[in-house]
Amino acid sequence: SPVSPEPTTPGAHSPSHLHYHSRPSSDFTDNASVRTDCLCVCLQDVSKRMSLPMDIRLPPEFVKKLEMESENSSPDSKPLSRMSRRASLSDIGFGKLETYVKLGKLGEGTYATVFKGRSKLTENLVALKEIRLEHEEGAPCTAIREVSLLKNLKHANIVTLHDIIHTDRCLTLVFEYLDSDLKQYLDNCGSLMSMHNVKIFMFQLLRGLSYCHKRKILHRDLKPQNLLINDRGELKLADFGLARAQSVPTKTYSNEVVTLWYRPPDVLLGSTEYSTPIDMWGVGCILYEMATGRPMFPGATVKEELHLIFRLIGIPTEESWPGISSNEDFRSYLFPQYRPQALINHVPRLDTEGIDLLSALLLYDTRNRISAEAALRHTYFLSLGENIHNLADSKTSLLPPYQTDSFAPERATKLGRASPKSRAGFSPSPPLRTQISNSETNKQM
């Protein structure tokens, strides 16, 4: 069934916020009884009943249908029933391919192709993720899992699923369009973000993740490619294809290698009994990457990934990781007895509080690894002010403005280019060739 987007702020109407009347305006008089008899269908009222965005352009035939139905309804009509709402959404154009115009291909993977598009209902850009149903490699199950989760996740730091279109050969997911992802952002700012921007991106990542974890939903595939960024500096979690999976594969159904760089050591060593801490390790790796401009543990194999982790964090012991000495995979690798290194020597741009948060995210013992909710309250974020903790789930407007110095001067000089100009206080990347990121394409959504 179609999925309608979250309503926008009532005060921010587009030019399509109109009042539709059943008779010409010349028929109106100052007579109260005539005004009462005259039907007025307000788009805001329709939006309230159907949970539509305020900038929807209602088709004329649908407006006429609403007028006829409203003649027999009271002014305080209750929200539509599920079946009536589904039928009405279809009348507007939700769930129909012709409602969206393709503007170009953004990426292609094993079972999905993603296009940049435009909605005829709102004139907004969208990302159209077309999933081919003739393949029987498990992809449809992944898509269904993604749909079922995103339908119920309504948060400013989680990508919005606007619509679902089902045909015999294809399932199309219509997402909000974002300009970039974190990997592209890092690549296009010379790999050196301002530390203020690092902090704000980190806070938004934790906000979205905390919202998921409170609802017992794990992302399980956190990486910069799956963190989307728009031109207002809003960061959103995307690609929930692996969320809630019973296991976290190291390969896709087509044997394409899935990056191991953000996987926690317990998963690398075969653990299938995990909870929210699986995501928190990846958050730590992403914090390191934003602060340094390079991946923290870029291993090509499971053994190499573990080797990089142990060489920096130290070889795990029964004290730091209870039960590790009895793990057969761990024992078989025969790793050297590495001592833990001081993280500050590897991330000198992070302050003391930042190093403390990073250390709490990279603990071997999952029981002690910091949670998303606790991380949001960490002293690292004190400089952002108290108001950030009062944000509604649908809002990001109280976040402090972005700084304009994405490039470090020495890095910008070395690259032979100047720092990019900011828009609305945000340090954006230059125009990018693609913005799609999924497990199969490593691009978007």
User: Is 221 part of the annotated catalytic residue set?
Assistant: yes
Q: By C-alpha distance, which of 396, 397, 398 is closest to 385?
A: 398
In sequence order, the β-bridge partners of residue 237 are: 158, 227
∠ Cα 37 41 42 (to 5°): 130
CA separation for the pair 218, 276 (Å, rounded): 6
**Beta-sheet strand order (sheet of 161-166):** 100-108, 112-119, 125-132, 170-176, 161-166
DSSP code of 216? Answer: T
Catalytic option among 55, 163, 181, 221:
221
The enclosing H or E element of 131 equals strand 125-132
Other C-beta atoms lying within 10 Å of the C-beta of residue 331: 11
**What is the enclosing helix (H) or strand (E) of 283?**
helix 277-292
CA distance 16 to 149: 31
User: CA–CA separation, 68 vs 99, rounded Å?
Assistant: 24
Helices within 151-268 (DSSP H only): 182-188, 195-214, 265-268
Strand partners, 227: 237
Coil, strand, or helix at residue 47? helix
| Longest alpha-carbon distance in the chain | 90
Q: Is 129 annotated as a binding residue?
A: yes
* Contact indicator for 175, 127 with CB cutoff of 8 Å: yes
Burial class of residue 382 in the structure, from the number of CB atoms within 10 Å of its CB (0-12 exposed, 13-18 middle, 19+ buried): exposed
Q: Which of 46, 56, 13 shows the shortest CA–CA distance to 163?
A: 56
Q: Do 264 and 283 touch, CB atoms closer than 8 A?
A: no
For the chain, the first-to-last Cα distance in angstroms comes to 20
Q: Which residues sit in the known binding site for ATP?
A: 129
Q: Which residues sit in the known binding site?
A: 129
Residues classed as catalytic: 221
